[in-house]
Amino acid sequence: MIVPQFLTKIDEKQLHNGAVSWSSPSNIALVKYWGKKAFQMPRNQSISFTLEVCRTTTKLSFNKLDKPSKGFSFEVLLDGKRKTNFEPKIEQFFKRIENYLPFLNDFHFKIETSNSFPHSSGIASSASGMSALALCLMSIEKQLNPEEPDTFFYKKASFLARLGSGSACRSIDGDLVVWGEHPDIEGSSDLFGVKYPYKIHDHFKNYQDTILLVDKGEKQVSSTLGHNLMNDHLYAQTRFEQAKANLSKIKTILETGNLEDFIALVESEALTLHGMMMTSRPYFILMKPNTLEIINKIWAFRKQTGLPICFTLDAGANVHVLYPERDAASIYEFIKSELVAYCQNGHYICDRVGFGAKQL
Ligand code: PMV
């Protein structure tokens, strides 16, 4: 599949070498993307909070080759050390995007990357990493085609990031990003993420996300394998319809600031994602005993205090604790005194909603 709107004509003769850098954040989905079609197209719509603290910083240096390479010429360094095991993923990414960036074969690329969160934290760096790399590549395209409008730049960056890792297309902008064409969200598309275009109640401004690192190991189920489990899943169709309906519902919630409804929707989405994994073939349980301990503690604390604390989960055991800024003091005290004990080595990350990637 070729998407003509992102095929740009460029004259690369004038460019020889240089370097560009971007810092790009991770994101946490409220309505989860789970299931994909060919060309990294989502089988359901999703919406996420862009994060601020969990970020990848990538410097992309480029040097013109004497003659275009047959494959791609690049090296990847994490924290200054060569990472050959990252290279197949980048190679696959370059293959997927080469039609859209015809200069990819003409340069040797040095990709120097580092994460603000520890590599072995169980936090996936694919969203922040792929979006940072997509933005660096777009900055090279921009040098070749300075007339390119900013709107196109960010749209294409999100489009390219999606081809690296689906949810990465939601990491370019902030504070809320929708991915997947939805009748209630104007401008939404399966091809790229769009900034949520409607009114957001003050309750959701600077929302807090304390990430409890329950299991810092490698992912038990890779994203690709996980998404593929939805291909012949008995409940797939119902799940996709539920996600669509939840996106309509969250639009109302975001406008009215109804935290009770927000909590019910977000927690249900997290548990449904895990429910899908528990009911697929093969089946998986990605939560750990401490994940459940934390969830039960959150529920008990909420019942006791009436404070609007809730959780969400990615495809793993770590827990994202979400709460409004106005209640941050008492909720953070609770997290420190009651929840941190369930984290591996007591590790957690204090994050919050952010506004997207930054050029350095
Ligand atoms: O971007 P991927 O292919 O790694 O998929 C991410 C899927 C979830 O994190 C589980 C949900 C989401 O919408 O981010």
Confidence of residue 121 (pLDDT cuts 50, 70, 90): confident
Residues 80-119 have pLDDT tens digits of 999 999 999 999 999 999 999 999 999 999 999 999 987 7
Could you tell me if the CB of 182 is within 6 A of ligand 1? no
| Arithmetic mean of pLDDT, 342-359 | 97
Residue nearest atom 6 in ligand 1 by C-alpha distance? 167
Q: What is the mean pLDDT of the chain?
A: 96
What is the per-residue pLDDT for 220? 81
Could you tell me if the CB of 32 is within 6 A of ligand 1? yes
Q: Is the pLDDT of residue 165 over 90?
A: yes
Residues 3-19 have pLDDT tens digits of 999 998 877 677 899 99
What is the per-residue pLDDT for 10? 77
Tell me how far the alpha carbon of residue 78 is from its chain's centroid: 19
In the chain, % of residues over pLDDT 90? 91
| Arithmetic mean of pLDDT, 293-299 | 98
Q: Is the pLDDT of residue 162 over 80?
A: yes
Could you tell me if the CB of 165 is within 6 A of ligand 1? yes
CA distance 332 to 339: 10
In the chain, % of residues over pLDDT 70? 99
| Arithmetic mean of pLDDT, 232-251 | 98
What is the per-residue pLDDT for 298? 99
- Cα-to-centroid distance, 320 and ligand 1 (Å): 14
What is the per-residue pLDDT for 12? 67
* Mutation to probe ligand 1, out of 32, 130, 239 (largest number of atoms < 8 A from CB): 32
Could you tell me if the CB of 166 is within 6 A of ligand 1? yes
Query: Residue type at 274?
Result: H
Spatial CA neighbour of 135 closest among 60, 50, 193: 60
- Cα-to-centroid distance, 269 and ligand 1 (Å): 13
Q: Is the pLDDT of residue 217 over 90?
A: no
Spatial CA neighbour of 124 closest among 187, 67, 51, 192: 51
| Arithmetic mean of pLDDT, 243-249 | 98
* Mutation to probe ligand 1, out of 223, 225, 230 (largest number of atoms < 8 A from CB): 223
Could you tell me if the CB of 171 is within 6 A of ligand 1? no
| Arithmetic mean of pLDDT, 312-324 | 96
Please give the domain boundaries of the chain with CATH numbers for all domains.
Answer: 4-197 (3.30.230.10), 202-352 (3.30.70.890)
Could you tell me if the CB of 126 is within 6 A of ligand 1? yes
* Mutation to probe ligand 1, out of 314, 318, 319 (largest number of atoms < 8 A from CB): 314
CA distance 147 to 10: 11
Could you tell me if the CB of 33 is within 6 A of ligand 1? yes
CA distance 92 to 180: 23
Could you tell me if the CB of 50 is within 6 A of ligand 1? no
| Arithmetic mean of pLDDT, 186-199 | 98
Q: Is the pLDDT of residue 284 over 90?
A: yes
What's the predicted TM-score (pTM) here?
A: 0.97
DSSP 72-103: -EEEEEETTEE-GGGHHHHHHHHHHHTTT-GG
Token pair in block for residue 304? 């006791």
